[in-house]
Amino acid sequence: MRKFRLIPDHTNIRFMWLRRFNFPASTVLSVLSLVLFFTIGPQYGIDFRGGSLIEIKPVAATHDLGAIRATLGGLNLGDVQVTEVSDPITGTSVLIRFQQQEGGAAAQQAALTRVREAFADTVEFRRVETVGPRVSGELARNGTIALVVTLLAILAYIWFRFEWQFAIGAIIATSHDVLMTLGFFVVAQLDFNLSSIAAILTIVGYSLNDTVVVYDRIRENLRKYKKMSLVELLDRSVNETLSRTTQTSLTTVLALLALFFFGGEVIRSFVAAMIFGVVIGTYSSIYIAAPLLIYFKLRPGQAAADEATTAGAAGRA
């Protein structure tokens, strides 16, 4: 029986040589992402900005978005956003977001009551979320702490299991994924919520999983081919693991796509971020994590020779 192969059996792609193109590109994009995140910024959801979100589903078969906007406009809620979301399974519903009301928690509750009374029996209230300013500040702080703690814990683990070079390489590659994902949130205008932090942490875990598999092979090959130049060895290791790396990403993305299309509106942006992260994490394991090791002296005294080989390879190309 002939089996389907995603990647041909004997690839020999010169990833190390390719780094002269994708390193600058990745650096520029990472910096750009960071700039975008802190200038334009993502569309912060209520978890971090505070305020309320109400999802309603009109009882009648049809509804008029304009009428809903007009009703809300008369309720003195300040800036109100009304968006319609359609879903193959849960049908069409309307999301209403409004900001933190002046006058604190009591005013916020009063505003919610006004909305409930205005629509009363004409809609089904599917969910109501309110986050106060102190809570939103804490959530943002906890999210940042979690991210930093994760990165440090993983740095320590890889340092312990491998060598420091691998730990640094893995952290750079993973930080690259995190930055790119932050940029993705801005560009795709996804709601940035607590679940987005969860998505980013998952991406960190996934990307490292991929990276560790590649590093594991590099470590093994370092012992096996003591004479081989580092560039050749890294290329060989990445090519050997290429089939596994891409297949796992594919199955993971397949599962996530099912969630994206059928899992409902509530988790869609969470899943979208993860799909992006899995793709970018796969890229970074292949094109960033491994080539980075060239810059650290994995084999004392061989760095110069490696550079010469790379130059030679480039010349031939």
DSSP letter string over 72-133?
A: HHTT--SSEEEEEEEETTTEEEEEEEE-PPTTHHHHHHHHHHHHHHHHGGGEEEEEEEEE-H
For position 293 contacting other proteins by CB under 8 A, the verdict is no
Taking the complex as a whole, how short is the minimal distance between the CB of residue 217 and other proteins, in angstroms? 8
Taking the complex as a whole, how short is the minimal distance between the CB of residue 169 and other proteins, in angstroms? 13
Q: What are phi and psi of 74, to 5 degrees?
A: -85, 0
Closest CA to 108 of 74, 125, 87, 133: 133
Taking the complex as a whole, how short is the minimal distance between the CB of residue 28 and other proteins, in angstroms? 27
Taking the complex as a whole, how short is the minimal distance between the CB of residue 112 and other proteins, in angstroms? 8
- Please say which residue, 23 or 44, places its beta carbon nearer to other proteins: 44
Pick the piece of the chain touching other proteins (CB under 8 A) from 15-23, 30-38, 64-72, 118-126. Answer: 118-126
- CA atoms lying within 13 Å on the CB side of residue 2: 3
Closest CA to 80 of 59, 105, 111, 57: 111
Where do we find the tokens 């990276």?
A: 211
- Please say which residue, 36 or 194, places its beta carbon nearer to other proteins: 194
Q: Which of residues 254-283 bind other proteins (CB under 8 A)?
A: 254-259, 261-264, 266-267, 270-271, 274
- Please say which residue, 36 or 298, places its beta carbon nearer to other proteins: 298
- Please say which residue, 152 or 305, places its beta carbon nearer to other proteins: 152
Taking the complex as a whole, how short is the minimal distance between the CB of residue 18 and other proteins, in angstroms? 22
- Please say which residue, 256 or 298, places its beta carbon nearer to other proteins: 256
Q: Which of residues 50-109 bind other proteins (CB under 8 A)?
A: 55, 57, 87, 89-91, 104-106, 108-109
- Please say which residue, 197 or 222, places its beta carbon nearer to other proteins: 197
Taking the complex as a whole, how short is the minimal distance between the CB of residue 181 and other proteins, in angstroms? 14
Closest CA to 131 of 101, 95, 173, 176: 101
Q: What is the 3-state secondary structure (H, E, C) of 4-36?
A: CCCCCCCCCCCHHHHHHHHHHHHHHHHHHHHHH
Q: Which of residues 8-47 bind other proteins (CB under 8 A)?
A: 9
Rounded Cα distance between 240 and 300, Å, is 25
Contact (Cβ atoms closer than 8 angstroms) between residue 147 and residue 200: yes
- Please say which residue, 64 or 220, places its beta carbon nearer to other proteins: 220
Q: Which of residues 124-183 bind other proteins (CB under 8 A)?
A: 124-132, 134-135, 142-143, 145-146, 149-150, 153-154, 157-158, 161
Taking the complex as a whole, how short is the minimal distance between the CB of residue 202 and other proteins, in angstroms? 7
Closest CA to 19 of 299, 284, 303: 284
The residues with which 175 forms a beta bridge, in sequence order, are: none
Q: Of residues 100, 181, 252, 282, which one binds other proteins by CB under 8 A?
A: 252
Kindly state the DSSP code that residue 190 receives in the 8-state scheme. Answer: -
Q: What are phi and psi of 124, to 5 degrees?
A: -100, 125
**Torsion of Cα atoms, 119 then 128 then 43 then 111, to 10°:** 60
Taking the complex as a whole, how short is the minimal distance between the CB of residue 249 and other proteins, in angstroms? 9
Q: What are phi and psi of 125, to 5 degrees?
A: -85, 105
Q: Which of residues 203-232 bind other proteins (CB under 8 A)?
A: 204-206, 208-210, 212-213, 216-217, 220
- Please say which residue, 151 or 186, places its beta carbon nearer to other proteins: 151
Where do we find the tokens 């092979």?
A: 217
